Each structure stands twice: as structure tokens, then as C-alpha cells.
Amino acid sequence: MILVAGSANLDFVVRAQHIPAPGETVLGQDFQTYPGGKGANQAVACARAGGVSTHLLAAFGNDAFATPIEASLQQAQVVLHPVRSAQLATGTAFICVSEQGENAITVAPGANQALRPQHLPPLQGFSHLLLQLETPLESVCAYAQAAQQAGVCVALNAAPAQPLPPALLDALDLLLVNETELACIAGHAGSIVECLQGLQVPSVVVTLGAHGCCALHHGALLFQTAFPITPLDTTGAGDTFCGALCAQLSQGAAMPEALRYASAASALACTRAGAQTSIPEAADVRAFLQQQHSSDSAQHAALAQLRSFCGLPATTTP
């Protein structure tokens, strides 16, 4: 059983030909609202794509924006531990999605800032705690340290990017980052592998978009190439990866197997619109994996490219 503690937002999404540059106005083609927020997205991914019993600690305002988020969580069978703020509105995110599926996101945290250390529910029965950085850092640190003391595996998706205090890093079993977040936390501009090797967290996983992902897991470098897809909307893809990965690990999967499963779930999410609405069912992920057949030469070429991108010789075994 997994506890996710984090943000819940209502996403306001506009599709446009391209993402505006500073000072530029573009005409949008479509507008929709979707349930989102990193915490809520990852909880849905744990439950839906991962098939694991999942609870979510999140804060909401007393407003209509909370209603579709809570409905989405209920539909995914996520058990909600809500905190209500009378002063702050439910968090919102404003997202522009280009025709190529890329996005630009601005978040108004709202009630997410009301999540406090004392709101953490009892940890009995939970194997993993999954955190992000869209809620107060003080609360994230307190939750991680409480879980560490309770013997619960602590995972942090360190997004949005920011330097992390040593006390938080010391409490982590698993750190999940993208390339920008890794460089920010590592504090230098070396290769991906060099940044990984500079961190003392037992397991660090780096998502690399169309290149795939890599991990330094208890001293061993692991690589997972991306599955070929045509993206529609990448919003929520990283959250899907994080939730699916934690769900697999909580069920006893080895890290290479968990990376492959999470990559497949994330790939499927990119082919659908929205954040939580794009997260696939576990049966869909398994079916997708069974359909993957590529030649040995294609796999070797993709792996060589990924290794090179991470800063290793393409043909040398790590």
C-alpha cells in the first residue's frame, strides 16, 4: 500500500500550434479543464497504472475547482485524506500544449501551501511514501523523516527543480528527477552519469524524454530506452512514470523490470490528452509491453545512443 503526499490542481489546458515565446500571443485551438497536480496525478498512476492500493494526502480549497479532482481520485479508487483551507483556493495550473505534444506550465499553488507536517496520517500498513515539491518544503522534509523512522520506503520526485537540504536527501530511498532537476540537485554541470555518481541516495532515476531513462541503483547503472510513439500531449507523463515505478517496486519488482513498466505507462500517457485522464490502466500497460517487438540491432542502437547521451562510451559495458 502506497501513501502519496502532495499537490492537487485543476489544470486549464489550451492547445496551440506552438508554445508562445516571451511577449508573443498565439491563438489557441482548443480548451479543456482536467484534474491534475503532481501528487494527485502520481496517486492515480499508482492506483490505475500500477494496480496498487493507494492513499493521497492533499489540500483543497472550499470551492468548485476541488470537485472534479476529487471525482477523478474516487474513480481511480484512491483513498483521499483531504485537508480543507478556508483561506486559499484549490491549486490551479495553466498549460499550453503544442501540436508536437510539448507543454509549458504555470502553477498557482493555492491550497497546496496549506499542507503542514501535522497533517501526515498514521503510516502503519504503508510500504512506500511518494512525495513531490509542489507543497511546502518543510512539510516534505517532515513527512520523509517520519516515514524513514517508521521504516517506510521514501521516494521523492524532486519537481519543480530546486536545491534540496541534506536532511531531506538523507531520508530518501529513491530520488526521481529529470535532467534539469538532476543538475540542480547535484550542483554541477557534468554529464548525467557524473551527476548521478555525486549523489548519496541509494537509488536515483533520471527520466530523459525521448531518450528513455537511466538509474544508479545501489551502485549499478541501469538503462531503459524509450518506446517509440507519436505523442499527443506529454502533460502528466512524468507523473505517470513516477507512480507506475513506485507501484511496481512496492509489489517486489526488480528495478530493471520496474523501469521498463514505468516507461511503457509513461509512453501510453503521452498518446492521450490531459494529466490524470491520460494515465492508462494496468491491463493496457501489460498489453502494450507484449506488443513491443524490435530487432536486436535496433535495440542495440537505441541503447548505445542512450548511453552516449548519459556520458558513457556507447559500446562499453558499465
Give the residue numbers marked as catalytic: 239
Q: Which amino acid is at 35?
A: P
- The cell numbers describing 137, all together, are 518544503
Q: Is 195 exposed, middle or buried (0-12, 13-18, 19+ CB in 10 A)?
A: buried
Q: Which amino acid is at 117?
A: P
Q: Which amino acid is at 205?
A: V
* Secondary structure of the chain as H, E, C letters: CEEEECCCEEEEEEEECCCCCCCCCCCEEEEEEEEECHHHHHHHHHHHHCCCCEEEEEEEECCCCHHHHHHHHHHCCCEEEEEEECCCCCEEEEEEECCCCCEEEEEECHHHHHCCHHHCCCCCCCCEEEECCCCCHHHHHHHHHHHHHCCCEEEEECCCCCCCCHHHHHCCCEEEEEHHHHHHHHCCCCCHHHHHHCCCCCEEEEECHHHEEEEEECCEEEEEECCCCCCCCCCCHHHHHHHHHHHHHHCCCCHHHHHHHHHHHHHHHCCCCCCHHHCCCHHHHHHHHHCCCCCHHHHHHHHHHHHHHHCCCCCCCC
The CA distances from residue 268 to 1, 72, 181, 237, 275, in Å, are 24, 19, 23, 8, 12
What is d(CA 217, CA 215) in angstroms, rounded to the nearest whole number? 6
